[in-house]
Amino acid sequence: SSRVVEIQSQMSERAVELLGLPEDRPCLLLDVGCGSGLSGDYISEEGHYWIGMDISPAMLDVAVEREVEGDLLLADVGHGIPFRPGMFDGCISISAVQWLCNADKKSHSPPKRLYRFFSTLYTALARGSRAVLQLYPENSEQLELITAQAMRAGFTGGMVVDYPNSAKAKKFFLCLFVGTSGTLPKGLGTECATEEPHQAKFTNERTRFRNVKGKSVKKSRDWILEKKERRRRQGKEVRADTKYTGRKRRPHF
């Protein structure tokens, strides 16, 4: 339907925008799960070149009939990206990568297939370039699985969520950097969001002593103060805090 085409086009446009391509020269992009070539049309309109990969012969036949400008390859990206190192200036993918989470055959292991895809994609991308993969995750476990395998393969970056407060317009873009850690772009429609996700808010100095899990380092002053505070809340007798609390003692010989 024309509505689907319209949404596809909008997401392709957004994905290419998130790639942050140089404006002074044409780039070569990889389109993963290119289907009938709708996102490819937008890439061509922008003056760039592309190669599309898809697992569906029927979809690629439609792309051929539509006389798209990109080159097309029938392949399962779970087997890897078969291009030479550093060949692409960027990669986009619209609504495709979540399919790698499904085990369609007995022999399929989703983590392995995802890792194979991401590690070979990493190699095929030029240093300093990006991959922007729009996906429809079924749940947070899928998101974590996909992101974890991307990071394992060497990518940095993370999830950009457009319109996080809207059930209909909410879109996930996995924005990955190759060889350089860029700043993650802001999601659309997040300006009005009250709570910025992933933004650490440092309210007091004490948080800097916390370890990775968010607990204070054992036996540190913070740890002792927190423990005493807990005891007080339980109504136990606890000595008052002073400047000596948690202080290192000098060794006695």
pLDDT per residue over 166-184, tens digit each?
888 899 999 999 987 678 8
**Torsion sign, CA atoms 24, 26, 30, 34:** positive
Q: Contact at 8 Å (CB) between 19 and 132?
A: yes
User: Of 95-99, 211-215, 231-235, which range is least confident?
Assistant: 211-215
Question: What pLDDT was estimated at residue 190?
Answer: 78
Q: Is 0.75 topped by the overall pTM? A: no
210: which 2 tokens? 């916390």
**Domain limits, the chain:** 2-178, 216-248
| Residue 111 per-residue DSSP state | H
User: Of 19-23, 50-54, 185-189, 245-249, which range is least confident?
Assistant: 245-249
Question: What pLDDT was estimated at residue 174?
Answer: 95
pLDDT at 196 over 80: no
Sheet of 71-74, strands arranged across: 71-74, 49-54, 28-32, 88-94, 125-135, 171-177, 156-162
Question: What pLDDT was estimated at residue 202?
Answer: 36
Name residues whose C-beta falls within 8 Å of residue 241's C-beta, 6 or more positions apart in sequence: 225, 228
pLDDT band at 253 (very low <50, low <70, confident <90, very high): low
pLDDT band at 194 (very low <50, low <70, confident <90, very high): very low
* DSSP per residue, 150-177: HHHTT-EEEEEEESTT-TTT-EEEEEEE
Query: What topology is assigned to 2-178 in CATH?
Result: Rossmann fold (3.40.50)
Distances (CA, A) of 227 to 203, 207, 237: 20, 15, 12
Distances (CA, A) of 88 to 126, 153, 206, 239, 246: 6, 17, 46, 65, 56
Q: What angle do CA 95, 97, 99 make, to 5 degrees?
A: 95
pLDDT band at 147 (very low <50, low <70, confident <90, very high): very high
* pLDDT 10s digits, 203-227: 333 444 444 455 567 777 877 887 7
Which residue is it, tokens 């059930």?
167
